[in-house]
Chain A
Amino acid sequence: MCLGIPGELIAFHDDPPDLATVDVSGVRRKINIALLAEEELRPGDWVLVHVGFAMSRISESEARAVLDFLEEMGPAYDDELAALRDSARDSARDEGELLALRDSMRAGLNPDDLRALRD
């Protein structure tokens, strides 16, 4: 059971206890935070919401780490891929051939080698 959505904690309620208001894109919902009783939650924290309960506090640093990892993957390879596509467009008829061409060029090569090859 998987539908969990990130929401920002806006306010806590005293009565009934364990309730807090969370904001998802401007939609505000009251959720139960009892499962995170051992965390010290503060307004501005982000939590994962599932069936009306907060399941986990979202770690900003871990979220950042994933995005950093993804960014690292990014521009260098986009350029390489674009360059490969341009040069291979005439000879490779379909995407399968293009992939194979790229794979055979990439096997064991790191980005620096690849750039060196092209230049």
Chain B
Amino acid sequence: MSDLPPTRAPVQPPVSPPPTFTHVPQGAQSWLLGRREDARLVTGAGRYVGDLKVAGCLDAAFVRSRVAHGRLLAVDTGAAAEIDGVVGVWSAADMGDELPVVPSFTPGSADEERQRPALAVDRVRYVGEPVAVIVGTDRYVAEDGADAVRVDIDPLPVLVDPGQAAASSTWLFDGVDNVADEMEFGEPVDDEVWQRAAVVVEGAYRQPRLAPTPMEPRAILAVPELDGRVTIWVSHQAPHRLQKDLATALQLDVERIRVRVPDSGGAFGSKSGTFPEYLSVVRLALRLGRPVRWIEDRAETLSGATHGRGQNQRVRIAADEDGRMLALALEVDADVGGYPIAGFVAAETGLAAAGPYLTPKVHARVRTVVTNTTPTAPYRGAGRPEQVYAVERTVDLLARRLGMDPAELRRRNFIPPEAFPYEAPTGRRYDSGQYALALDKALELVDYGYWREEQRRRRRSDTERALGIGLCSFAERSGLEQAPMAHEWASLDVTPDGRVVARIGTCSTGQSHETVFPELVAHTLGIPAQCVSLIEGDTDEVVQGIGTFGSRSMQAGGSALHQAALELIEEAKRRAVRMGCAEPDVGYADGTVSAGERSWTLGDLATASPEPLRVEGVYDNAAAFPFGTYVAVVEVDPELGNVRVLRLVAIDDCGVAVDPEIVEDQTIGAIVQGIGQALYEEMPYDNQGTPQADGLLGYLLPTIGELPPLTLDTTVTPNPNTALGAKGAGEAGCIGTPPAIVNAVIDALGQSVAGTDIGGVQLPLTPETCWRAAAGQEVGAR
């Protein structure tokens, strides 16, 4: 074993790579491109973390537990340390007092009783948990070192299901049981309501674990600088939160840490956390005084990072004979894996339980339960796809029970436009919506009447494949409701040549910010878009920020920039007044302040005074509620169980779309992830807690071959709380798609599988699941 070396000053003059946004290939100024980002991204000139070259950089590799639950008896690093090129090997014991602990996302919450060390201390709780870290001269050598470490674990009983774990006497954490948190939303529904209702339906659903799978796995490069600071290059969604967490975990002054996000290869919620591996890498870079990077590989990330979803759900709905919903109760056991790092995801499922419906009584009870599986954390939608799936399947069940058209049932229960702002029984306050408008548009575009007739025709025929039509109506929260997270910082600086530099606290991981934010600022100021540039993802340049998640970037960040631009116009006018013109005369248009015969460009005003022409602020942005209706038409091959999606119509309302093309890009991408969830994706575990997929041949992502004909359209209900009017976009596709497809498949398979839906058809709808359902066999029992 090797002890930690003493803290050293950097031994190499570190070479920080050039800022990403200035790295533009030769000749690119003359190219006409779809987005600004593309000049470097289509030519191979982009700079992702793994592309950054720093002199003397070392590579880290991790040894991970292959046992789901056990006592960690010994970690033998001797052979690894002998390997030529291995600089050091550390287990938790070797780190000693220097071992960092992952800071709690919600200080004071249940997760503080269940601390997550950077390396497992005396217990391993899931396959993939880091047990030791090797630093070597390159990644091959570091991985040789990882292979040479011997880990001795005494197995303990394994819990892979949250319901089972909640009831078990085997506890993952000594002294505290496996239920990390219990939350309630709304008032419990009286028994009398269920007893008196004309109809009560109940469904039980399983949300499989999904691997978020951005094409670039996690990546970090920590560079100790000569001035005593450390630069962290990282693929991340929330650099300021990471900066703060690193400071807390490593007991560093936050000013010493600069977090920079270069080009990022996708995130989908999965790169918003402070990962144990990141703490080890930064700790060792500082101890060694050398740059250390860690580039995760795909096999590692599938079990060693985080998963999304993972819930057992039970839903009851009571309705009168006309289909008016009287009560809705949702119970969730959320599988949070080995460490409860993100209970807020399941809380969202509970808070959102009412969906778009005017149900007078709504109650949700949510438990987060630790199990011997990979921790769960946000994945695109983060709590909303789970809620929408549970409710929309049960609404279809209600329609079948009542013999009602599922579209008409939904229409009868929608919160009407005049009821907004609407406070749901769970305490959630919805801002605005025109739910029936989106439903009607979806039905019209899919030609609902035609497909219902076609379905009847096929049912009369014995030879043709069964056809099904499935609906999903939803309202989702975008941005955040809680005070410190419901704002965003922005600044605008005018340079002497009249250009504008925008800074914003969001952080792109592929969402085209570099294109749309300058467009928005330029449009507001009435100047050409090429006069505006954007800086984000750098904690030195951007003094504070919340980041990019929950579809918040345009709603919160865009609105902040919009407000800042309006303030800049006012500031420019004040400058002109100070230069001697009379206030009532001052006007602003197209980058120029004018008063009578006199006029000043923004550049003139920036140079006229030594005081910089700039505005800066923190702008409040309440949560918003985008919504929509998706309709899927499917046919199912009863012999093979294959599902073919014939049509998918998506009507989304994200308020004012600032750049409709970019919104559409986001929608299609999310829809295809939703198709993956509905039909292909699952990270299954065996009962020993071993994940059953360690590569992309085992974990199936949709390819272009799985793409159905898509029809996208929108309705526009502006965000009533911002002048910009934008609500969030980016996650709706994977919220609306899975229930629409699953409802369509059940509609195709017919009454035989409808039943009560307890133990019924469960995600993903693999050919086996559908074949068993079509053949009337027990399904969902895997």
Do A and B make up one complex? Answer: no
A positions within 8 Å CB-CB of B:
none
